[in-house]
Structures are given as structure tokens and as C-alpha cells.
Amino acid sequence: MNLEEVVELIRGALGDLAKEITVRKGYVEVVVNPGDVVTAATKLKELGFDHVKSVTAVDYPKESRIRVTYHVSSYLRDDLARVIVGLSVDLSRENPVMDSLVGVWRSSEFQEREVYEFFGVVFKGHPDLRPLLLIPELAEKRVLRKDFIVREESIYEGVPHRYQ
Amino acid sequence: MGSRLGGTGVEEPVDRVYVGNINVTARRARELLLGKLKLGDVIDWATTFSLWPVHLLTSCCGAEFAATWSPRFDAEQYGALPWVAPRQTNLIIIEGTVTRKMACALRITYEQMPHPKFVIAMGACALDGGLFYNSYNIVRPWEVVPVDIYIPGCPPPPEAVARAIIELRRKIREKKLASRWLVEGWRHDREPVKPVDDVCKWWRP
């Protein structure tokens, strides 16, 4: 099964749920509405995509949206294992709330915790939504958003002021 | 000429110690310990040959740390043996980057170790951040625990780690760190380090 047939399979399974399907080399990007994400994920899982490779998010501050992407693929079906499907949701930047997909893919639990602590995206229905890698004070700052500024220096300037 | 093999009944030379000659070594050590030295010197001498680093692996320097105790470099010849439990060790080698969550573990490990205890910071990240100098999630180890020896490098080679252990041994013997720490109850040569940040949320009312 080549890539076009996989795309047709996904298009037939999702139907009207998919707002936009973009195909690149070995990668299929599917954008759905935030309300339809659990339904779309369930249909993708019934199709044979059985695990989540990564959950990530991209911050677009000018367009005031955050795009959360689930990269899913298959272990059990060889023809589907050659493609990676990105299931994407566009959320508002001020109040990013979406439904959790832990009930569909259990392997997305820790990765949703990471997206929660780095971007502030709240997953409704997540069993244990706590910061994973950061301390809670840092997680409140949403450190991977674009408006979090880290100190930069091109040349080492010696001991910083706060250590003197 | 005496024989190099022990236990043969032949008189052995006393002025040199051959590794593996247990008779000569035992006699030499008995004279050294009971004849000439004070008890504090004996404690310092014994501590230098029993520097057991706790295996606190925080980052990729742990690979070089492991290679240091491999047969090729064999840092166990200096009396150092990596051990897993902090309550039976007396040396921390901080292997790389210390994140904010790991700083709490580092401080707890340091508090658990019995006196006298020493800290070696390994790698550029443990010196001043290294690659992650502007990261929001790291701490400098010298803000958390008192560091005795710094090893630069990214990562330091195994020879540098062995060299740091030898330097720490020299420092303990010269400054009499171990014996004076046991007698006086604190390090006489430096102030105790209180962590700059509240790493473990112990200060919260």
C-alpha cells in the first residue's frame, strides 16, 4: 500500500471530520476541530494506528493560536507503519483547552503532561494532569511559548550580576 | 639480596613496598601507623584510600564516569569504588547538568552522607551551566553543595576524573580535612553552603 492509498483510507475513514489533509513525504497531516478530536482519534485507532509517537505543540503568537499535534503510527500493520499521521488541533492561545486522548491511546499520557507544563494546554479528562519535568513554579510560566524570553549572550561576559 | 616473594623466610628490604608482597606491606603499615604518626594523620591517610563516590548520574558525563572505573583506566587502584547507597559513601561526583528537580535529589544525597564528605563537580555544565548556560531549568551545583574539585571538559576524559580523585587525596592529606572535620565538627577551611534557591521546598511555611 503506497502513500496515496493510505491517504485515501484516512480520508474515507474520517469523512467530514478532517478539515484539511496535507501530504508530505511519508507524513500525513490531518487537522480537525477541537470538538471532533476524540471521534477522529477513535476512527484512526480502529483503522490500525495503534500508538502515539509524540505529542507536541507549536505556538503561533501572531495568529493567536496553538496547534497541538499527535503523531500516530502503527506497530501491527506493516503497510500503515511506513507513514506517520499527525492529528492536529488548533486551539486559542488565551484559553487552550481540549479533550484528552488518553482514553484512546494510553501512551499519550506523559506526553500530554509535557505539553501541559510547557505550553499551558489543559487536557480535559486526563487522569493525572501534573507537571512532569519542571517544578510547578516554572510550569506556570509556560516556558516554551514564544513570549517567554531566555537570557542570551554571544560572548561570555564573566560572572553574572546575580552571582556577584 | 632478599627475595621478592613473601613468606620464604629470607629477610626482605624494608625501605620499599612491592605491591602484592603482603608481609612487607603489613610490616611497613604497622610501623607507619603505630610508630610515627598521630591518630589524625592516620584518619587522613585512611580517608584518602577510601573515597567512595556515590553514583549520582545526572547527565551524559556518567558515560565517562563509567569508563573511569573500567579496566582500561581502573580508578579503583586509587581506592575509589562507586557505590549506590549515599549512606555508605563519602564522595559525590556530580556527573553533568543539574536540573531544578535533580538539585533537590543532590542536596538530599549530600545531607544523607556521613562526615567527612567531599564533592567533585564534573563537566562544563556542573561548572557554570555549560551548554545550558541560559536555561530556565538548571542550577549551578556550587549553589547547592560545597564543591571541592572542579573538572572542566565537555565531557571530561576518564584521565581527568582520575586526576581529580588524586587531587582530592592530596588536598585531604595537606589540609588535614578529614581528621579536623571529625575533631572540630565542621569544615575549618570553608563556610557551609546554604542553597540559594529553595530547591526542595523545605523553607515553605
| Angle B112-B90-B114 from CA coordinates, rounded to 5° | 40
* Domain B45-184: CATH class, spelled out: alpha beta
- Note whether B134 contacts A: Cβ–Cβ < 8 A: yes
A106 secondary structure, DSSP code? G
Which value does ipTM take for this structure?
0.74
Searching chain A, which residue's CA lies closest to the CA of residue B200? Answer: A135
Element containing residue B110 per DSSP (H, E): helix B100-112
Distance CA B159, CA B165 (A): 10
Q: What's the pLDDT at A121?
A: 93
- pLDDT tens digits, residue range A93-151? 999 999 999 999 999 999 999 999 999 999 999 998 989 888 888 888 889 998 888 87
- Report yes or no on A155 lying in a domain: no
Domain with A90 in it: 3-149
Alpha carbon B125 to chain centroid distance? 19
- Note whether B135 contacts A: Cβ–Cβ < 8 A: yes
Element containing residue B3 per DSSP (H, E): none
Nearest residue, CB atoms, A138 vs list B100, B133, B140: B100
- pLDDT tens digits, residue range B6-47? 555 556 565 655 566 777 778 877 777 777 677 888 888 889
- Report yes or no on A110 lying in a domain: yes
B126 secondary structure, DSSP code? H
Q: Which residues of A touch B135 (CB under 8 A)?
A: 150
Rounded-to-10 torsion of CA B192, B197, B200, B201:
120
Contacts of B155 (CB under 8 A, 6+ apart): B60, B61, B63, B64, B96, B122, B123
Q: What is the mean pLDDT of residues B48-53?
A: 91
- Report yes or no on A79 lying in a domain: yes
> How many domains does the structure of chain A reveal?
1
Residue B100 has pLDDT above 80, yes or no: yes
- Report yes or no on A10 lying in a domain: yes
Residue A160 has pLDDT above 60, yes or no: yes
User: Domain map of chain B by residue range?
Assistant: 45-184
Q: What is the CATH number of the domain that holds A25?
A: 3.30.460.80
- The shortest C-alpha distance from A134 to chain B (Å) reads 7
Q: Return the residue in A113, A117, A135 with the most chain B beta carbons within 10 A, the one to mutate for interface testing.
A: A135
Q: Do B100 and A151 touch (CB under 8 A)?
A: no
Nearest residue, CB atoms, A151 vs list B134, B137, B140: B134
- Count of CB pairs separated by less than 8 Å, A with B: 23
- Report yes or no on A163 lying in a domain: no
Q: Do A135 and B101 touch (CB under 8 A)?
A: yes
Searching chain A, which residue's CA lies closest to the CA of residue B138? Answer: A134
B149 secondary structure, DSSP code? E
Nearest residue, CB atoms, B100 vs list A135, A141, A153: A135
Q: Which residues of B touch A155 (CB under 8 A)?
A: none
